[in-house]
Amino acid sequence: MQKKQTQESCPRTSDKRSDSQLQLEGVFVDLDPRIQRAVAAEGYVSPTPIQEQCIPHLLEGRDLLGSAQTGTGKTAAFSLPLLERLATRSRRPAKGTPRALIMAPTRELAAQIGESIRTYGRFLSISHTVVFGGVNQFSQVKALNRGVDVLVATPGRLLDLMGQGHIHLEQVEVFILDEVDRMLDMGFLPDIKRVLQKVPTDRQTLFFSATLPPKMVTLAHSMVRDPVRVTITPDKPAVESIDQKVLFVGKKNKDALLVSLLKEQGVGKVLVFTQMKHAANKVTEKLAAAGIRGAAIHGNKSQSARTRALDGFRSGRIRVLVATDVAARGLDVDDITHVINYDLPMEAETYVHRIGRTARAGADGDAISFCCAEDRSFLRDIEKLLGQPVPAQMEHAYHCNDSFHSTLPAPKNFGRGRSGRPRNRSNAARPSHRRPRRRR
Ligand code: AMP
């Protein structure tokens, strides 16, 4: 399992050199010198296709309807011109009255966008804050009261704080909706519509979604005016740049197989997916017992534990992150060498989302899936979606012929709640302001 030579589609210097040594290219040179400095300090040289296509129009104040996935450089595509606009028409924001609102489906994505705003705006005096549910609102309200230029928010907490009078949207000049398809999947459409009623009609609107089926375009057109349309198909579809393998294994041997893979050469930063939260915990314990530093993230973990785990994973202090699908949404970590599906997902599309966590920004990556007898039907669905079989690796110490030959249908109620809805779409995905509050 040797890691392949990475192939960069976003040219990026290998180290973060002093920005004075770097020469920026393309639309980057039209940006405010302070933003250029921040971009150069990140090691970027030339804009990605989405940046090349969006930035000039956004600098002119046009609305935008964009179809692009994470990993394309989308966050900088909207953050850089936003910062430029706010910096050149600088004015002090009043208490709780942001000049720009960015809505994102999950707290992880919202936090990542906030981080990008901080990074690209580090030489400007632009303030920002991120609000999301699942944590005490005290520090969020305190930040809002100081006045922020940019507010990044998940829908539930945004409406909560608006309802309590901590956020007022009448000064919003730029309204950005990121990953709208996921927000709709998570049932946030009514929330988006409520927010829309509060933002001024005279604004710049950016609407981003991984896919833009006709229904989504209709929704988008109720929000944007004469938008520029940008569609970015990654150079190589994610799955084609990923070396995929399936290993047939008995359920009881999954832990041992995982540990043996993690000890192989060339296996660096690894994201492991489990179907259930308790499995994520159990796997992490098994790794610890084998002397492998791992951490679990899932919906039952406190926000601070999730942030700690993610920071540790990003910095390399934690080599293996074990996650459920909901917790991993929007997760953006650059140098994941392997995605391991400890459990195959019930939905084939989820498989594509999962394995796309490796091979970010044009690099190659490996995706290894464990398949036990009960998972066989999930594998069939995945192969149907991909239009090709996932290559099987039979030579390994825990190969299980029964799993390989299994014709079992999907287990009844596998990973589903009583309602029959997949569990990973219930609690964690429900807008937080509607969730009954439980004492911890
Ligand atoms: P995003 O699609 O916004 O999640 O970005 C994916 C990754 O690409 C992030 O880690 C960015 O830091 C990186 N990136 C964004 N723009 C560039 C660029 N112009 N050159 C190199 N890397 C970039």
User: Which of ligand 1's atoms lies nearest the C-alpha of 28?
Assistant: 19
Q: Nearest CA to 270 among 239, 234, 313?
A: 313
User: Which of ligand 1's atoms lies nearest the C-alpha of 72?
Assistant: 2
| Maximum pairwise Cα distance, the chain | 68
Q: Does domain 242-404 have CATH number 3.40.47.10?
A: no
The alpha carbon of 338 and the centre of ligand 1 are apart by a number of angstroms equal to 19
Polymer length in residues for the chain: 440
- pLDDT single digits (tens) 386-440: 888 999 998 888 998 888 887 766 554 443 333 333 333 333 333 232 233 332 2
Q: Nearest CA to 137 among 85, 96, 192?
A: 96
User: Which of ligand 1's atoms lies nearest the C-alpha of 112?
Assistant: 4
For residues 206 and 175, is the Cβ–Cβ distance under 8 A? yes
What confidence score (pLDDT) does residue 139 get?
A: 96
Residue 67 has pLDDT above 80, yes or no: yes
User: Which of ligand 1's atoms lies nearest the C-alpha of 68?
Assistant: 2
Which protein residues touch ligand 1 with a CB less than 6 Å away? 10, 12, 44, 47-48, 51, 70-76, 332, 334, 360-361
Element (H, E) at 310: helix 303-315
Beta bridge partner(s), residue 240: none
Closest residue to atom 12 of ligand 1, CA basis: 73
Q: What percent of the chain has pLDDT over 90?
A: 55
Domain 48-231, CATH number (from 3.40.50.300, 3.90.190.20, 3.30.70.260, 3.40.50.720): 3.40.50.300
Burial 246-278 (b: 16+ CB within 10 A, else e): bbbbbeebbbebbbebbeeeebebbbbbbbebe
Cα 331 from Cα 115, distance rounded (Å)? 13
- pLDDT single digits (tens) 322-368: 998 877 766 777 788 899 999 999 888 788 888 888 866 556 789 99
C-alpha dihedral sign at 13, 1, 235, 64: negative
- pLDDT single digits (tens) 122-167: 999 999 999 999 899 999 999 999 999 999 999 999 999 999 999 9
For residues 346 and 420, is the Cβ–Cβ distance under 8 A? no
- pLDDT single digits (tens) 3-56: 333 222 334 433 344 444 457 889 999 999 999 999 998 888 889 889 999 999
The alpha carbon of 148 and the centre of ligand 1 are apart by a number of angstroms equal to 25
Best mutation site among 9, 10, 329 for ligand 1 pocket (most ligand atoms within 8 Å of CB)? 10
The alpha carbon of 10 and the centre of ligand 1 are apart by a number of angstroms equal to 7
For residues 424 and 349, is the Cβ–Cβ distance under 8 A? no
User: Which of ligand 1's atoms lies nearest the C-alpha of 70?
Assistant: 2
Establish whether domains 48-231 and 242-404 are of one fold: yes
The alpha carbon of 350 and the centre of ligand 1 are apart by a number of angstroms equal to 22
The alpha carbon of 122 and the centre of ligand 1 are apart by a number of angstroms equal to 17
CB-based burial of residue 226 (10 Å sphere; 0-12 exposed, 13-18 middle, 19+ buried)?
exposed
Best mutation site among 29, 46, 48, 82 for ligand 1 pocket (most ligand atoms within 8 Å of CB)? 48
For residues 246 and 393, is the Cβ–Cβ distance under 8 A? yes
For residues 64 and 207, is the Cβ–Cβ distance under 8 A? yes
The alpha carbon of 186 and the centre of ligand 1 are apart by a number of angstroms equal to 26
Domain ranges of the chain: 48-231, 242-404
Mean pLDDT across 60-72:
88
- CA dist list (Å): 77 to 73, 93, 113, 390: 6, 24, 12, 34
Alpha helices in 132-241 (DSSP H): 138-146, 155-163, 180-185, 189-198, 214-221
Give the angle 194-196-199 at the CA atoms, nearest 5°.
120
For residues 415 and 422, is the Cβ–Cβ distance under 8 A? yes
Alpha helices in 214-276 (DSSP H): 214-221, 254-262
Helix-, strand-, coil-residue percentages of the chain, each rounded to 5: 40, 15, 45
* 155 three-class SS: helix
